[in-house]
């Protein structure tokens, strides 16, 4: 007759007790380890699953947007939590926090002084963080984007003219960067702003050789030597402005000029196609007509290698940069496995196939044109640029 598993275990325990009385209590621990090992080896699949559930710490519920948000946090990476079972891509055990990066308060409404650039005039009393890297280390683009300052919970998305944006329900967070008052930072320029801030923080000036709509190379390294651009007889050339310098005001003045004469086509000319299945921080999507753009500002991955991401976008007219909600979910993350050929944000639709990556994120700019199909050569003299109203 076969003896059942429970009867065999009971017999074993009885022998253990008898052995303990004969040999002393010192062998009880050793005998119990044998029993525990036997129990684990003979446990059914259901018993193992039940034990795993009861011994694993319960994860927080994530049913609505608020479950993902830490409204006391001042940086993007700390404000928005990843979905349960996911981990931020590129995150190390020693995460660089915003307080470890040099910070200053942005000048609001500064007027231009002789021989210097003025700070971009903002329309809100907010602080902009200069995450300038003077340590000699190079922060990754993931670290940089996660350290971006975000506005407080009840703050509003502001337009370039100081008015509140009419729609205030499209974002999970608002990036807290100074906004110009000239209606220049719109759609593509919001993406290029984030790239430029990252390069400037790491002092990667070889990567900051942006091209205007006509292909003129606007080299930030030359800009900080004191040179500026003038247009005469339909030709753009550099001239000596007479004052070298490199600070945050210098960067903002450079970007203001660049935004005047650039747009979606010039950004595409600086980019190459990217694979959305392997989405990375720094990729961006456009719509079918190449009128709107949203940048991948954070990426997380689960154990299966499935990725999700956050999107950042500006708008027209010029406005603060928003971290967009996902209208298909209660959380702000977009899941690669769910992307259709056309997928929606609260503001506009995007094309999965229209995924791009700025070429200078891979290496310093030499030539470009992968995404637009139009190569651009680096020049110091070029036919006159045309001003843009996001410039398309």
Per-residue pLDDT tens over the stretch 91-130: 864 334 433 443 333 333 333 333 445 444 433 333 334 5
Mean pLDDT in residue range 265-270: 95
Percent of the chain with pLDDT over 70: 66
Mean pLDDT of all residues in 83-95: 79
pLDDT for residue 146 is more than 50: yes
Q: Which of 192-196, 284-288, 358-362, 376-380 has the lowest mean pLDDT?
A: 376-380
Residue 298's pLDDT band, with cuts at 50, 70 and 90, is very high
Which residue did the predictor score with more confidence, 88 or 135?
A: 88
What pLDDT does 137 receive? 73
Phi, psi at residue 286, to the nearest 5°? -125, 170
Mean predicted lDDT score pLDDT of the chain: 78
**pLDDT > 60? residue 293:** yes
Q: Determine the average pLDDT of the residues in 263-284.
A: 96
pLDDT interval class at 171 (50, 70, 90): very high
Q: What is the pLDDT of residues 209-220, one digit of tens each?
A: 999 988 899 999
CA distance 76 to 145: 7
The whole-number pLDDT of residue 62 equals 87
Q: What is the pLDDT of residue 294?
A: 98
Instruction: Tell me which of 63-72, 109-118, 216-225, 261-270 is least confident.
Output: 109-118
Of the pLDDT bands very low, low, confident and very high (cuts 50, 70, 90), residue 360 is confident
Confidence band (pLDDT; 50, 70, 90) for 384?
A: very low
Q: Burial code of 287-306, b = ≥16 C-beta within 10 A, e = fewer? A: beebebbbbbbbbbbeeeee
pLDDT exceeding 90 applies to what percent of the chain?
58
- What pLDDT was estimated at residue 25? 47
Banded model confidence at residue 306, pLDDT cuts 50, 70, 90: very high
As a whole number, mean pLDDT of residues 60-75 equals 92
Instruction: Give the pLDDT band (50/70/90) at residue 317.
Output: very high
- Residue 193 clears pLDDT 80, i.e. is over it: yes
Residues 180-189 have a mean pLDDT of 95
Position 103 scores a pLDDT of 39
What's residue 9's pLDDT?
A: 52
- How confident is residue 259, by pLDDT bands cut at 50, 70 and 90? very high
C-alpha span between 92 and 142 (Å, rounded): 10
| pLDDT tens digits, 11-43 | 555 555 545 444 454 454 555 565 566 666 666
What pLDDT band is residue 235 in, cutting at 50, 70 and 90? confident
Position 375 scores a pLDDT of 38
């Amino acid at each position: 007759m076969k003896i059942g598993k429970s009867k065999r275990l009971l017999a074993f325990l009885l022998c253990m007790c008898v052995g303990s009385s004969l040999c002393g209590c010192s062998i009880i621990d050793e005998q119990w380890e044998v029993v525990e090992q036997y129990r684990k080896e003979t446990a059914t699949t259901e018993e193992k699953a039940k034990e795993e559930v009861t011994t694993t710490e319960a994860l927080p519920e994530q049913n609505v947007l608020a479950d993902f948000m830490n409204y006391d946090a001042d940086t993007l990476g700390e404000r928005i939590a990843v979905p349960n079972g996911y981990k931020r891509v590129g995150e190390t055990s020693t995460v660089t926090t915003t307080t470890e990066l040099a910070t200053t308060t942005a000048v609001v409404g500064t007027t231009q002084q002789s021989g210097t650039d003025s700070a971009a005039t903002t329309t809100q009393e907010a602080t902009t963080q200069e995450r300038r890297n003077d340590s000699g280390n190079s922060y990754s683009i993931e670290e940089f984007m996660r350290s971006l300052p975000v506005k407080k919970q009840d703050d509003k998305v502001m337009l370039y003219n100081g008015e509140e944006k009419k729609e205030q329900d499209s974002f999970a967070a608002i990036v807290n960067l100074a906004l110009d008052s000239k209606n220049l930072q719109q759609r593509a320029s919001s993406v290029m702003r984030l790239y430029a801030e990252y390069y400037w923080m790491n002092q990667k000036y070889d990567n900051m050789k942006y091209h205007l709509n006509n292909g003129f190379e606007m080299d930030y390294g030359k800009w900080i030597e004191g040179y500026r651009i003038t247009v005469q007889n339909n030709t753009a050339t550099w001239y000596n402005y007479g004052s070298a310098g490199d600070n945050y005001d210098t960067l903002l003045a450079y970007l203001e000029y660049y935004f005047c004469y650039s747009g979606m086509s010039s950004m595409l000319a600086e980019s190459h196609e990217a694979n959305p299945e392997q989405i990375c921080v720094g990729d961006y999507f456009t719509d079918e007509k190449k009128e709107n753009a949203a940048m991948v500002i954070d990426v997380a991955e689960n154990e299966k290698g499935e990725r999700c991401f956050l999107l950042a976008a500006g708008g027209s007219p010029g406005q603060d940069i928003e971290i967009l909600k996902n209208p298909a979910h209660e959380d702000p993350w977009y899941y690669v496995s769910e992307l259709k050929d056309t997928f929606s944000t609260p503001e506009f639709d995007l094309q999965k196939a229209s995924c791009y990556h700025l070429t200078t994120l891979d290496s310093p700019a030499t030539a470009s044109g992968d995404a637009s199909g139009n190569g651009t050569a680096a020049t110091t003299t070029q036919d006159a640029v045309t001003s843009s109203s996001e410039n398309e």
